[in-house]
Amino acid sequence: MVSKDLDLVRRVTANYFFWQGLRFVPFGLVGFAIAATYAPWWPTGVPVEPALLASLALAFLGSVAADRYYAAAFGRVVDRTVDHRLRSRAKWFVAYPLMGGSLVVDAVVAGPVFLSGRVYAAALLAYWWSTGRGRPHYLPLAAATALLGLLPLLAPSLRGEALFPLFFAWLGLLYVVGGLLDHVALRRVMAAHG
């Protein structure tokens, strides 16, 4: 039992930033803002860019506030950059290009399956795996994201870009729910081993 607890503490401290879920909750606002700009009710004359920039600015401010909270509540952990080098490369050279590319494919091809659902689900699982696991809520969130990609099979009117409002709203919700659950998981670990 002690070695299992020690392993969890090591995984948390090695990935401390990524377990600080309140940092990510404000970025749900960006997902909701993107969803709104794709929605059919978005006013034609209202430019998209200011709304997106405002949501991004608010998200960064919220993330900075969360950083201060975590520093005050739990202190800081010194990152070992070498431990994160492979993850960082995979993220920038594999995951992000695949995620962006899948959205382009979905917009252009508008096939019977929304490719981005599967790609983003795989990215969620890779994120969970590479940041110490220990937070089982990523498994059902990834499954639900993959299932969302099958929605065009049931509703052909939601092919391609037509699914973007729902998909980006889902991503916004993922940031909020995942972030809150990450925060609860971190508090639980810190309370048990603090």
Segment 18-77, tens digit of pLDDT? 999 999 999 999 999 999 999 989 998 889 999 999 999 999 999 999 999 999 998 888
Per-domain residue ranges for the chain? Answer: 2-193
Q: Which residues contact 43 (CB under 8 A, 6 or more apart)?
A: none
What pLDDT sits at residue 129? 93
pLDDT at residue 14 above 70? Answer: yes
Q: What are the φ/ψ torsions at residue 88 (nearest 5 degrees)?
A: -65, -45
pLDDT for the residue 4: 72
Q: Give pLDDT, residue 19.
A: 94
Task: Answer with the residue of higher pLDDT: 75 or 100.
Answer: 100
Write down the pTM of the prediction.
0.92
pLDDT tier at 81, thresholds 50, 70, 90: low
Element of type H or E holding 136: none
Answer yes or no: are the C-beta atoms of 76 and 17 closer than 8 Å: no
Taking each helix axis from N to C end, the angle separating 164-193 and 2-14, rounded to the nearest 10 degrees, works out to 130
Q: Could you read off the pLDDT of 136-178 as tens digits, one per residue?
A: 999 999 999 999 999 999 999 999 999 999 999 999 999 999 9
- How much is the pLDDT for 194? 60
